[in-house]
Chains A and B, each alone.
Chain A
Amino acid sequence: MTEVVADWRPLAAVLVSALAIALIVASHRRRNVRELWSVLAAVAKFAIVLSMLPGVLDGREYRWSMGMVPGLTDEFVFGVDLALRADQLGMLFAVLASFLWIFTAFYCAGYMRGLSEPNQTRFFAAFAASLSTALGIAFAENLLVMFLFYELLSIVTYPLVAHDETDEARVAGRKYLAYTFFGGGFLVLGGTVIIYWLTGLADPADVEGVEAGESTATVQFGEIAEPLWAVFEAGAAAELLFVVTFGMLALGFGTKAAIMPLHSWLPDAMVAPTPVSGLLHAVAVVKSGAFGVSRVVLDVFEPELTAALDMHVALAALAAFSFLMASFIALRKDNLKRRLAYSTASQLSYIIMGVALLVPAGVAGGLLHIPAHAFMKLTLFFCAGAIHVETHTDDISKMAGIGKRMPLTMSAFAVAAAGMAGIPLIAGFVSKFYMLVGSIQMTGDAAIGEPTAAGFVFASALIISGIMNVAYFWPVVYTAFFESEDAHDAKPLVEFPYGGEKASYGVLGRGGEAHADGGEPVTDGGSTDDSAGQEEREDSHTGEHHDDHEHGDHHEDGHHDHHHHGGAPPGGWVRTSPREESTWLMLLPITVIVTGAVLLGIVPGDLAFLDLVVEIAEAATGGEVAV
């Protein structure tokens, strides 16, 4: 059984980066010192979290509560404690976030300096704050503390989304706040309050650990399910209430996890600088949403009650719909970051579906996808950012032949993309495999029995989605390495209208409009009219970015913009060696993280994640992960 130990380390892990905020702001004039604080805080945070890992793997839980501060009591509001508890599920998220932050700190420094971004102090301070709150979410002992940090996360990531201070950034920021506060302040808070009430309706005799005359109301993870189940069986509240509450909590956390139809804040938030998109939207913010959904299914309602309400099928179906739709939409995106955003929305729903399967293998697969996807997606975003800094290219249509200019970056991209599709030897395969097995095993009730039709549907959805992942990542890799600037094909999925292009696209071009965006390089007189015609089509059909960007607006170092104006320079891409293609500040993180993704695929059992995940899944579902 789990032994609970009182310890200051969960609080220390949360607060170390909050402390860093003050230091970052104080050293705003001295860039290297300021960046150093970020790195030191990240290393310290990871060290603290790592120190708790062996104990947690052994079955211990570390708990900090407000009563450990002299003069204060545990209680935050009546009947609810302000406490942090490092348990297995929390450690999964905490280890991941703190490890990745170390390298993101380096990457941020390289990125921000490469573009000479303004407001860098605010940026780094907000980053530190968001990691603080992310760990608070990971270690929250009950729904209310989790809500507390959830709201704080929305608040501290807002300056990162609206960082550029342009109209587009402000609009994206408003949308972000609207969605996350709707999910958090409305749905999650409402759900939490209803849980508090419902658990209070139980008879103390039915709940162990509660004396007669005491209240059974609780919002603490692991303790909610028992009174809730007692109330459900006694019929003291309508079943509809349970269903609605589950829906509120799942959708509330799911908003941050970009589940459809609440996903549309995520692509718009891509206006933020790429490190923000990377860590926050691929790792911390969206992962905290998926983590929240996992908590709801595994520690609030727990598999037994979830199955009794049939909510696991509903949630898995919504997740499956979500990942298929998002993959479809991603196929059409020319802007690389937007494509990655939809890919994130899609992959996050894998996690939710995996957890909703309620069988040990499915849960294990879903939870393992949290770190697996994080490593892979972060690599992809870092590559996108490096490309932007070095070549100011954001659109896939302009990336033909870019593998010459950025070999290391694009190789890492290729590896990570393969992992996303579920190719073996890379992290994504392991989690997907578990999830496939789990969906076949899924049944209508919580006990493992005969497979059901629903399970097969979900398994097929997973496979189809894998194929679509290939469909939207392969063109990027192909065009980077196997095409060149002056001879590349059109991309039908991206550029042509729905229903396809009526004329053969090899036909001579439709007459030249002057293209004011730098156009394509013409290295010899024999360039095909393909390229001219293509350009026109790209401009008229790619719907994402309709900035007619003036040709005269060259990039100077002091001028940052993210208009999609890049593309190969007039002489074509310059072949560069991996050591010179970009700054080490960006290349080192890319290399480390893609290596991590590969290691997770080759020896998953040696990195703590798989062990944690298997233990969590077995404890929650009561079965064995027999794969």
Chain B
Amino acid sequence: MTEELLPGLLIAVPILGATLPLALGLFRKRVGWSVAAVVLAIEAAIASWLAYAIFVDGQRVIHVLGGDNFGRQQTEVGGHDTEGFIVGIELVADHLSGLVVLLVALVSLAVLAYSRREGPRGNAFYSGYLLLTGGLMGVVMTGDLFNLFVFLEIVGLATYALVASGRSAESAVAALKYLVIGTAGASLYLVGVGYIYVVTGTLNMVDVSRVLAGEPAWVADVIGEGSLYGDPLVAAAFGFIAIGLATKAAIYPLHTWQPDAYAESPDAVTIYIAALVSTSAAYAFARITWTMFTPDFFAQSAAGQDVLNVFLALAALSVLVGSVLAAMQSRVKRMFAYSSVAQFGLIVIAVGVAVHPAAAGTRAVEFAVYGVVIHLVAHAIIKGGLFATAGAFRSGSGARLVADYAGLAKRRPFLSGAVAVLGFSIIGVPPTVGFIGKWYIGVSAVEAQLWAVVFVIFASTLLTLLYVARLLEKLYFDYLPEDAPPHAEASAELATDGGRGSETALPYGVASLVAIATIASVVLGFMGAELTAMLEPLVEAVIEGEPEVGA
């Protein structure tokens, strides 16, 4: 079995596997979790193999859907040599997508451990879960713009269903809100893709990049020397695509679906979608901006620069507004959701800095690329861990509001410690992995001399501190009035609603997920240099405007 089949398998296995819980559910009742576990274990193995092929063997693995009838062939169409342009859809596993694929596979498996005791039950749920995993794999690996739309929709539909599986009225409303906004975003993305198709005649990311750059002979025949970057349709396309993906990644002011969706869905679902769904949208945005449009587009097109600056401004606003709103929340899950808005603002800032004209020729591009990738992975781990602790607190101690957390550190030392470590990681305290990403993003902004952005990036430390410190102070240094020992003062009034429920023990799966996330966030913090070494082919591709990474 060669590596070329692996990308296809990575998508096919979970999608086909998604039918199994429903099918086998006709014979046995509670078969969903086991099926999902087996399927995702296979998935993780395949993803590891693929990652090995990419990072250790240095391959760029391509899988063309449909077999030998499709793919890149040397033919002539209308008297012009197609120069190996593709017919069909290819899946590309390179340094960027290989890493994210591994992340998706491992997180899927880990959240499954969480949901064994906690999560929603039911075969339909696990079918949706597997479908979502398959969709995410597709988003990450596809090299075709329209195919990306299809997989974005698959991801979206599966997510809407999973959010609504909370079975309460609020979950349904949250799912509906997400559906409306998400579909609007995806539609805008599709409009952008349409414009690209009109201009270039192809939908494959590598080929589009070549056409826009003016490389193929048949383009030069039509437009002469130069590139298509100045075409207003191209700038418009970038705008639409960026807006569409920004909606999916929940950038201010397109974020309004996220707090509701995260807060109202079941805890296991929240962990999963917080860690992966917006991550895949941000990945897609990075892929398209870096390798399809390339820094050359932004250097040559004034309209493109304007759009880019608007996006940088929106992302900076995300950071500020997201953190401030997070600090104002009284419900913990909503607080973490707004925190995600802020963190994705940082990531989008760095994506933009990498292609910004001010960064050209400096080391800003290099550091921005490192920052985006590391912070994407870091955020997935940290946010997943934080939502896992929030879920554990809710089911174990009945704590949903920040005020409910008062004094819980004494009863839940392990979970509280995890909240502390993960909280400091997201603030950006070294030596955690959250600091590494922020360091690279900060250095890149300084190298590009975009001072307003620099200010926002470093201010984000303080803003994040606002809500993390609030939570930690409640946990460790505050008490519920009825629990307060004689020397201490509780900050809240005496509750008249019967107070906290009784404590239950922490399930094994929950504890292991939280532990893994916490340990990973610190261990990866010491591997900042190794992670960058792995990403060098990606950096080279971005700097040179080369659409094929590691080729």
Report chain A residues within 8 Å CB of B462.
178, 181-182, 185-186
Q: When the two chains form the complex, which single residue of A66, A77, A164, A200 contacts B440, counting CB atoms closer than 8 Å? A: A77
Determine whether the beta carbon of B443 is less than 8 Å from that of A162.
Answer: no
Cβ of A560 within 8 Å of any chain B Cβ, yes or no, is yes
Please, how many angstroms separate the alpha-carbon atoms of A217 and B447 in the complex?
A: 11
Cβ of A559 within 8 Å of any chain B Cβ, yes or no, is yes
Report chain B residues within 8 Å CB of A66.
526
Please, how many angstroms separate the alpha-carbon atoms of A186 and B442 in the complex?
A: 11
Cβ of B429 within 8 Å of any chain A Cβ, yes or no, is yes
| Contacts A77-B436, A162-B477; A190 near B454 (Cβ below 8 A) | yes
| Contacts A164-B487, A165-B488, A189-B461; A177 near B469 (Cβ below 8 A) | yes
Please, how many angstroms separate the alpha-carbon atoms of A151 and B479 in the complex?
A: 26
Determine whether the beta carbon of B526 is less than 8 Å from that of A148.
Answer: no
Cβ of B427 within 8 Å of any chain A Cβ, yes or no, is yes
Report chain A residues within 8 Å CB of B446.
193-194, 196-197
Cβ of B478 within 8 Å of any chain A Cβ, yes or no, is yes
Determine whether the beta carbon of A170 is less than 8 Å from that of B478.
Answer: yes
Q: When the two chains form the complex, which single residue of B458, B477, B487, B529 contacts A189, counting CB atoms closer than 8 Å? A: B458
A140-152 interface bits toward B, Cβ cutoff 8 Å, 1 = contact, 0 = none: 0000100110011
Determine whether the beta carbon of A185 is less than 8 Å from that of B488.
Answer: no
Which residues of A268-293 are within 8 A (CB) of B? Answer: none
Report chain B residues within 8 Å CB of A170.
473, 477-478, 491
Please, how many angstroms separate the alpha-carbon atoms of A164 and B488 in the complex?
A: 6
Cβ of B412 within 8 Å of any chain A Cβ, yes or no, is no
Measured as residues with beta carbon below 8 angstroms from the partner, the interface class of chain A is: 35 or more
Q: Report B453 CB to chain A, min CB distance, Å.
A: 12
Cβ of A498 within 8 Å of any chain B Cβ, yes or no, is no
Cβ of A173 within 8 Å of any chain B Cβ, yes or no, is yes
Determine whether the beta carbon of B429 is less than 8 Å from that of A558.
Answer: no
Please, how many angstroms separate the alpha-carbon atoms of A410 and B416 in the complex?
A: 44
Please, how many angstroms separate the alpha-carbon atoms of A170 and B492 in the complex?
A: 13
Please, how many angstroms separate the alpha-carbon atoms of A499 and B522 in the complex?
A: 57
Report chain A residues within 8 Å CB of B458.
185-186, 189-190, 193
Which residues of B428-449 are within 8 A (CB) of A? Answer: 428-431, 436, 439-440, 442-443, 446-447
Report chain A residues within 8 Å CB of B427.
181, 185
Cβ of B459 within 8 Å of any chain A Cβ, yes or no, is yes
Number of A-B residue pairs having CB atoms within 8 Å of each other in the complex: 114
- By beta carbon, the residue of chain B nearest A188 is B458
| Contacts A189-B442, A196-B443; A165 near B529 (Cβ below 8 A) | no
Q: Report A29 CB to chain B, min CB distance, Å.
A: 16
Cβ of B181 within 8 Å of any chain A Cβ, yes or no, is no
Please, how many angstroms separate the alpha-carbon atoms of A189 and B430 in the complex?
A: 11
Report chain B residues within 8 Å CB of A186.
458-459, 461-462
Cβ of B424 within 8 Å of any chain A Cβ, yes or no, is yes
Please, how many angstroms separate the alpha-carbon atoms of A159 and B478 in the complex?
A: 12
Determine whether the beta carbon of B469 is less than 8 Å from that of A148.
Answer: no
Report chain A residues within 8 Å CB of B431.
76, 82, 148
Determine whether the beta carbon of B461 is less than 8 Å from that of A165.
Answer: no
Please, how many angstroms separate the alpha-carbon atoms of A177 and B465 in the complex?
A: 8
Report chain A residues within 8 Å CB of B454.
190, 193
Cβ of A167 within 8 Å of any chain B Cβ, yes or no, is yes
Determine whether the beta carbon of A147 is less than 8 Å from that of B430.
Answer: yes
Q: Report B123 CB to chain A, min CB distance, Å.
A: 45
Which residues of B446-493 are within 8 A (CB) of A? Answer: 446-447, 454, 458-459, 461-462, 465, 469, 473, 476-479, 485-489, 491
Most buried by A among B428, B459, B488: B488
- By beta carbon, the residue of chain B nearest A147 is B430
Which residues of B523-544 are within 8 A (CB) of A? Answer: 526, 528-530, 532
- By beta carbon, the residue of chain A nearest B442 is A193
Report chain B residues within 8 Å CB of A167.
489, 491
Please, how many angstroms separate the alpha-carbon atoms of A194 and B465 in the complex?
A: 22
Determine whether the beta carbon of A76 is less than 8 Å from that of B528.
Answer: yes
Report chain B residues within 8 Å CB of A560.
487
Determine whether the beta carbon of B487 is less than 8 Å from that of A148.
Answer: no
Please, how many angstroms separate the alpha-carbon atoms of A215 and B479 in the complex?
A: 53
Determine whether the beta carbon of A77 is less than 8 Å from that of B473.
Answer: no
Please, how many angstroms separate the alpha-carbon atoms of A73 and B363 in the complex?
A: 22
| Contacts A77-B436, A166-B489; A72 near B461 (Cβ below 8 A) | no
| Contacts A173-B477, A186-B458; A558 near B469 (Cβ below 8 A) | no
Cβ of A206 within 8 Å of any chain B Cβ, yes or no, is no
Please, how many angstroms separate the alpha-carbon atoms of A173 and B436 in the complex?
A: 27
Q: When the two chains form the complex, which single residue of B476, B485, B486, B529 contacts A78, counting CB atoms closer than 8 Å? A: B529
Cβ of B370 within 8 Å of any chain A Cβ, yes or no, is yes
| Contacts A78-B367, A174-B473, A193-B439; A73 near B529 (Cβ below 8 A) | yes
Please, how many angstroms separate the alpha-carbon atoms of A479 and B491 in the complex?
A: 39
Please, how many angstroms separate the alpha-carbon atoms of A167 and B479 in the complex?
A: 11
Determine whether the beta carbon of A78 is less than 8 Å from that of B487.
Answer: no
Please, how many angstroms separate the alpha-carbon atoms of A76 and B370 in the complex?
A: 14
B330-349 interface bits toward A, Cβ cutoff 8 Å, 1 = contact, 0 = none: 00000000000000000000
Determine whether the beta carbon of A162 is less than 8 Å from that of B528.
Answer: no
Please, how many angstroms separate the alpha-carbon atoms of A185 and B530 in the complex?
A: 24
Which residues of A50-84 are within 8 A (CB) of B? Answer: 66, 72-73, 75-78, 82
Q: Report A410 CB to chain B, min CB distance, Å.
A: 29
Report chain B residues within 8 Å CB of A165.
477-479, 487-489
Q: Report B444 CB to chain A, min CB distance, Å.
A: 10
Determine whether the beta carbon of A73 is less than 8 Å from that of B479.
Answer: no
Q: Report A565 CB to chain B, min CB distance, Å.
A: 15
Cβ of A521 within 8 Å of any chain B Cβ, yes or no, is no
Determine whether the beta carbon of A118 is less than 8 Å from that of B489.
Answer: no
Determine whether the beta carbon of A559 is less than 8 Å from that of B443.
Answer: no
Determine whether the beta carbon of B430 is less than 8 Å from that of A558.
Answer: no
Determine whether the beta carbon of A77 is less than 8 Å from that of B528.
Answer: yes
Report chain B residues within 8 Å CB of A77.
436, 439-440, 528-529, 532
Which residues of A189-209 are within 8 A (CB) of B? Answer: 189-190, 193-194, 196-197, 200
Report chain A residues within 8 Å CB of B465.
177-178, 181, 185
Please, how many angstroms separate the alpha-carbon atoms of A177 and B469 in the complex?
A: 8
| Contacts A151-B429, A155-B429; A78 near B477 (Cβ below 8 A) | no
Determine whether the beta carbon of B363 is less than 8 Å from that of A200.
Answer: yes
- By beta carbon, the residue of chain A nearest B443 is A193
Q: Report A391 CB to chain B, min CB distance, Å.
A: 20
Please, how many angstroms separate the alpha-carbon atoms of A51 and B439 in the complex?
A: 36
Cβ of A137 within 8 Å of any chain B Cβ, yes or no, is no
Report chain B residues within 8 Å CB of A144.
430, 439
Which residues of B499-551 are within 8 A (CB) of A? Answer: 526, 528-530, 532
Report chain B residues within 8 Å CB of A200.
363, 447
Q: When the two chains form the complex, which single residue of A118, A159, A177 contacts B485, counting CB atoms closer than 8 Å? A: A118
Cβ of A355 within 8 Å of any chain B Cβ, yes or no, is no
Please, how many angstroms separate the alpha-carbon atoms of A155 and B491 in the complex?
A: 22
| Contacts A151-B430, A170-B491, A177-B469; A185 near B526 (Cβ below 8 A) | no
A154-178 interface bits toward B, Cβ cutoff 8 Å, 1 = contact, 0 = none: 0100010010111101100110011
Report chain B residues within 8 Å CB of A82.
431, 526
- By beta carbon, the residue of chain B nearest A215 is B363
Which residues of A16-62 are within 8 A (CB) of B? Answer: none
Please, how many angstroms separate the alpha-carbon atoms of A82 and B529 in the complex?
A: 10
- By beta carbon, the residue of chain A nearest B448 is A197
What are 12 sample pairs from A and B whose C-beta atoms fall under 8 A apart?
A: A77-B528, A77-B529, A77-B532, A165-B487, A178-B465, A181-B427, A182-B462, A189-B442, A193-B439, A197-B447, A215-B363, A558-B486
Closest 3 CB pairs of A and B: A75-B529, A165-B488, A185-B461
Q: Assuming A174-B469, A181-B462, A559-B487, what are 18 further A-B pairs, CB within 8 angstroms?
A: A73-B529, A77-B436, A78-B440, A82-B431, A82-B526, A118-B485, A162-B476, A165-B478, A165-B479, A170-B491, A177-B465, A185-B428, A190-B454, A193-B439, A197-B447, A215-B363, A558-B486, A559-B486
Taking Cβ atoms with an 8 Å cutoff, the residues of A that contact B are 66, 72-73, 75-78, 82, 117-118, 144, 147-148, 151-152, 155, 159, 162, 164-167, 169-170, 173-174, 177-178, 181-182, 185-186, 189-190, 193-194, 196-197, 200, 215, 217, 558-561
